Structure 1
Amino acid sequence: MTGIGGLLKGIRSSGARSPLARTEFEAPGTIVVTSPAFEDGAPIPRRHAGRGVGDDVSPELSWEGVPPSAAALVVLLDDVDVPLPRPLWHSAAVLDPGLSGLAEGGFTTGTPGVRIVPTMLGRHGYSGPRPIPGHGAHHYRFHVLALDRPVPSAATSVKAVLAAAAGHVLARGTLTGTYER
């Protein structure tokens, strides 16, 4: 019997449909994002999968190549294979520009230098991969954007953060992991 994932297998969003694909977010890809938990393009360990699938603990992330003039960092996690018109935002945060990474479990409310931006899935921080069973491998992208200005504290949604960031991205980097159920 084919489940809902099998029925929806051919329906997927794409990175080209992401707001981050717009020209206002073009910037040199000089930020290198890494994690000891998985290599770029490799499967994300179950420990970092979302509620009901794994432990929902954010992986350790580190980055280098942030321009010294950066006034803020934005870290976003999206799923580009979700069967929706646009990728789904799992997690979002505004960080102090001096941070060079997040410890495992650090993508959460209360981490110094991190202001969590609620998403539909991650109200208090990280919300890990939870693809529809049988839908195939999903690609999850951890984006780091370096901005030339701070993000106003009034920007309390991903839409508002992206509006504040548009046209102000100095550099960016992405680490992509996969997950399948």
Structure 2
Amino acid sequence: MTLLGRLLRNRRAGDTHLAWNLPNLQGPDQLTLTSRDFDDGGPLPLAQCAKHIGGADRSPQLAWTALPPATAQLLVVVEDVDVPLGKPAVHCVALADPSGGPLETGALTAKEPGPGVRVLRSTIGRGYHGPAPVKGHGPHHYVFQLFALSAPVPDSPSPERARPRTLLPVITGPVLARGRLTGVFER
């Protein structure tokens, strides 16, 4: 696998197609997103990585500054901008109740999501899927994005069934505030 990683070293999705850059998810960057598990731009702990590389596949704890009072729902999107594909790989999409407070470690797990959390479909499956980049490909940046929505995502068509690249562009706003946090992992 190290050879494959080296061969693909210069191929990366980039951040052009991040949820952050979708026209319908634009809004003021007023939220500061933090985690007690890692610092912005710092390494993601192995516990937050995929099980098949020795991790626990547990989503990190996420906290944010005060939400706008009119926030109806939170949208959480985690994307790998360094995957050797045309677009970032979506590692998690979830909706959360804004009154629920911070998301504790493991709250984005499909089998047992945290209180007020609805895990949706990602590129890989439902719920949080931790990093497991190809060996030798270099550092991968995982962008955790939080959007404070003024209206809940409609239940029809079912957000749980929709693919991320189909669901994200049709979420209507406006987005009241947003924030992001980046973790790095390399094999």
Same fold (TM over 0.5): yes
Cα distance in 1 for residues equivalent to 2:91 and 2:23: 23
Match of 1:82, as an amino acid? V
Cα distance in 1 for residues equivalent to 2:166 and 2:67: 22
Alignment root-mean-square deviation, CA: 1.7
TM-score normalized with structure 1 length = 0.92
| Deviation (angstroms), 1:106 | 1.2
SS of the residue 2:16 aligns to? helix
User: What is aligned with 1:35?
Assistant: 35
SS of the residue 2:51 aligns to? coil
Structure-to-structure mapping, 1:114-133, within 5 angstroms? 114-123=117-126, 125-133=127-135
Q: Is the 8 A contact 1:152 1:164 kept in 2?
A: no
Structure 1: any 5+ residue segments left out of the alignment? Answer: none
User: What is aligned with 2:115?
Assistant: 112
SS of the residue 2:47 aligns to? helix
Q: 2:153 aligns with which of 120, 129, 151?
A: 151
| Deviation (angstroms), 1:2 | 5.6
Cα distance in 2 for residues equivalent to 1:150 and 1:142: 20
Structure-to-structure mapping, 1:1-150, within 5 angstroms? 3-53=3-53, 54-109=55-110, 110=112, 111-123=114-126, 125-150=127-152
Count of matched residue pairs: 180
User: What is aligned with 1:173?
Assistant: 179
Match of 1:92, as an amino acid? V
| CA gap 1:102/1:122 in 2 versus in 1, 3 angstroms | farther
- Give every structure 1 segment of 4 or more consecutive aligned residues whose post-TM-superposition deviation is greater than 6 Å: none
| Deviation (angstroms), 1:40 | 0.2
| Deviation (angstroms), 1:51 | 2.5
SS of the residue 1:178 aligns to? strand
